[in-house]
Amino acid sequence: MKVLFAIAIALSPCFGITMTADGSIPSLYQVIGLSLDGNSTNYYAGQIGVRFDDGSPALLFCADPLVWLRSDAVTVTPVPASGLSFGPRLAWMYSTYAASVTQGWEAAALQLAAWDVVLDDGNGFSSGRLRARSDTDASVLARATSILAASTGQSSGGVTFFVPELGPAYSQTLFGLSPMAYVFTVTETPEPSTYWLLGGGLLALGAWRRRRA
């Protein structure tokens, strides 16, 4: 079984995957008035429907409100929550609250809390880069504040972050549950040692079968 596992790892996909925003996928969101870096504007906050290059759909959340989401196909690298400084806390938020989101304002609240963690380390919405405005939806703000308080000191895994390969300024980093085909995808070209591992695994499997016979 260990040999088969090693071979599976060696044969895992080694090419970049693409992700395209798809507005036809039903999603929950709300437009929220916020102040970001002193600029007052309205933000689409909530779930984002995307489709991967194999046609698999997913509902994800944004981890970077500073960059606009591109509408064309973006090549991304799947990164586990542990690979980003804010990843474990956002993963806990997602794992704890995403399944219970049934309305747009609830999705917006989860999104707003995630943005505050990324930009201001979760200090709330009265100071820092991300701030509430006088007309910010009170229900969304209250729930986002509650999520922030509950998530303090918490961490989790099991959530994938999709980071644009051309850099965080190219398109938004999105996170959430993803099709299993992409959880362990490696986008780098295999090193020569990978081929040696594959060859050694196949030889070991053959030897094991001969002993069994």
CA distance 129 to 141: 16
pLDDT in tens, 121-161: 999 999 999 999 999 999 999 999 999 999 999 999 999 99
What pTM, to 2 d.p., does this model score? 0.78
Domain extent listing, the chain? 17-184
CA distance 49 to 184: 21
pLDDT in tens, 59-81: 999 998 899 999 999 999 999 99
